[in-house]
């Protein structure tokens, strides 16, 4: 996501590869966000929790889970955060009057937008995390690219270490057969097939809109604990994005063979690790404790590295002046609006006030439906850019930030 972009009269030229990369990120996020809207929460990480089909359909759902786990889950979220960090650094470097104050005004408005989004549409909203993690970015802006890369690695280590401390007991209990331990019971409720827990999440997903909003307002404070726990891994990606900007990677100045080498090395590190984790989970029959540990914790270094590989491939691919580049760049210029628009579309499909398809589709069927908001973004974005320019939510963000600063 980009911080507020210059308007159409700005003298600063846009980097079209960066816009196109942003468009790819916001599209990729839909392929995982669809499961938040379509399935009980436990089914997001665990394919055995939910799926109307049996036999072949059930096996297909597991294959879709494996593909998503290795190639999609958290990779595009990482890419989004990388671009957010780079976008914030761009504005900080442009300076102007009181750049820090302007930055914190942007973060305050972004948090407010995310709060509204989380209450009305998507409880997994990431904008609140970005706003809170973004408060640290001015402190990092003067560092060299090498220092920023080191901070990225350190924050990933912090995330993994903290996750192991928090969830490691449940994994040990699984291997020791302690299914009745507190840690094992907690993991089963959050990541497993506990019937009562799954039914509770189904009931929550089918609430009327008014009841859902009231519940989310009531639980907003407690949800901030979950938001805070995601700060280190997202800040790691933002620091990486700042380093990539300073190293001129995101400025489109790396030679093609360097981009290809970066993508190859990153993928060769990440993909075997993710395949190994997927084998560990599926080979043990998707136990809740291992599902949680792999999905939230152990995959993080590989997710970040594969996100970097995608960035390198996209920067290489979008160098060519192809129609796909221009259309993807249009999607990226409206990244904040498109991110929120997908939630509106998905809610209209799955929520009780819409078509009411929540908990009525399999993982595979949900993936097919995800192409509805993707198609909407690809179609409407170039038209809006041509006729209006800046996106409506981008305009709101910029205007609110100016009012505060």
**Rounded to an integer, what distance in angstroms lies between the CA atom of residue 23 and that of residue 79?**
10
Give me the pLDDT at residue 36, please: 95
Give me the pLDDT at residue 52, please: 59
Contact (CB, 8 A) for 264 and 306: no
The ranges assigned to domains in the chain are 16-404
**Tokens standing for 169?**
């007991």
pLDDT band at 4 (very low <50, low <70, confident <90, very high): very low
Give me the pLDDT at residue 190, please: 93
**Rounded to an integer, what distance in angstroms lies between the CA atom of residue 305 and that of residue 309?**
6
Would you give the DSSP letter of residue 253? Answer: -
**Rounded to an integer, what distance in angstroms lies between the CA atom of residue 186 and that of residue 42?**
12
pLDDT tens, position by position, 222-268: 888 889 999 999 999 999 999 999 999 999 899 999 999 999 999 99
pLDDT at 397 over 80: yes
pTM over 0.75: yes
Q: How many residues does the chain have?
A: 405
pLDDT at 146 over 70: yes
Give me the pLDDT at residue 97, please: 65
Contact (CB, 8 A) for 401 and 109: yes
Q: What is the mean pLDDT of the chain?
A: 91
**Rounded to an integer, what distance in angstroms lies between the CA atom of residue 5 and that of residue 28?**
21
**Tokens standing for 360?**
């009525």
pLDDT at 150 over 60: yes
Q: Tell me the CA distances in angstroms from 308 to 156, 254, 262, 267, 268, one per residue in order.
A: 14, 14, 8, 9, 12
Give me the pLDDT at residue 221, please: 87
pLDDT tens, position by position, 11-35: 466 788 899 999 999 999 999 999 9
* Backbone dihedral angles phi then psi of residue 149, each to the nearest 5 degrees: -65, -40
**Rounded to an integer, what distance in angstroms lies between the CA atom of residue 346 and that of residue 121?**
9
Look-up: residue for tokens 């995310």?
Answer: 114
Half-sphere exposure of 310 (CA within 13 A, CB side): 29
Would you give the DSSP letter of residue 4? Answer: S
Give me the pLDDT at residue 325, please: 86
pLDDT tens, position by position, 345-389: 999 999 999 999 999 999 999 999 999 999 999 999 999 999 998
**Tokens standing for 251?**
């400025």
Give me the pLDDT at residue 12, please: 62
**Tokens standing for 85?**
């960090």
**Rounded to an integer, what distance in angstroms lies between the CA atom of residue 57 and that of residue 364?**
8
Q: Tell me the CA distances in angstroms from 269 to 7, 162, 299, 358, one per residue in order.
A: 40, 22, 12, 37
């Amino acid at each position: 996501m980009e911080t507020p972009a210059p308007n159409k009269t700005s003298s600063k030229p846009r980097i079209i590869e960066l816009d196109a990369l942003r468009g790819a990120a916001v599209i990729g996020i839909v392929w995982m966000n669809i499961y938040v809207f379509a399935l009980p929460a436990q089914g997001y990480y665990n394919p055995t929790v939910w799926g109307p089909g049996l036999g072949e359909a059930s096996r297909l759902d597991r294959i879709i889970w494996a593909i998503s786990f290795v190639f999609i889950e958290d990779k595009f979220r990482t890419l989004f955060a990388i671009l957010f960090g780079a976008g914030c650094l761009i504005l900080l470097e442009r300076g102007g009057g009181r750049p820090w104050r302007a930055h914190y005004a942007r973060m305050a408005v972004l948090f407010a937008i995310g709060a509204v989004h989380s209450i009305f549409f998507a409880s997994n909203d990431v904008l609140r995390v970005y706003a809170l993690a973004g408060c640290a970015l001015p402190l990092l802006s003067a560092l060299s690219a090498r220092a920023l890369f080191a901070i990225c690695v350190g924050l990933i280590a912090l995330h993994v270490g903290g996750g192991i401390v928090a969830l490691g007991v449940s994994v040990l209990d699984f291997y020791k057969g302690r299914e009745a331990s507190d840690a094992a019971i907690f993991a089963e409720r959050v990541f497993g097939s506990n019937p009562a827990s799954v039914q509770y999440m189904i009931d929550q997903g089918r609430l009327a809109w008014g009841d859902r909003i009231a519940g989310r307002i009531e639980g907003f404070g407690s949800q901030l604990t979950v938001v805070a726990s995601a700060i280190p891994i997202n800040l790691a990606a933002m620091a990486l994005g700042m380093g990539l900007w300073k190293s001129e990677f995101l400025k489109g100045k790396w030679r093609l063979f360097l981009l290809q080498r970066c993508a190859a090395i990153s993928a060769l590190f990440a993909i075997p690790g993710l395949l190994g984790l997927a084998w560990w989970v599926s080979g043990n029959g998707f136990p809740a404790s291992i599902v949680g540990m792999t999905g939230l914790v152990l995959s993080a270094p590989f997710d970040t590295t594969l996100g970097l590989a995608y960035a390198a491939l996209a920067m290489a691919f979008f160098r060519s002046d192809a129609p796909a580049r221009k259309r993807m760049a249009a999607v990226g210029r409206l990244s904040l609006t498109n991110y929120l628009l997908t939630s509106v579309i998905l809610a209209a499909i799955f929520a009780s006030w819409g078509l009411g398809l929540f908990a009525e589709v399999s993982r595979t069927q949900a993936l097919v439906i995800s192409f509805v908001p993707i198609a909407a973004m690809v179609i409407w974005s170039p038209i809006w850019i041509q006729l209006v320019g800046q996106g409506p939510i981008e305009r709101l963000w910029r205007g609110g930030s100016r009012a505060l600063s």
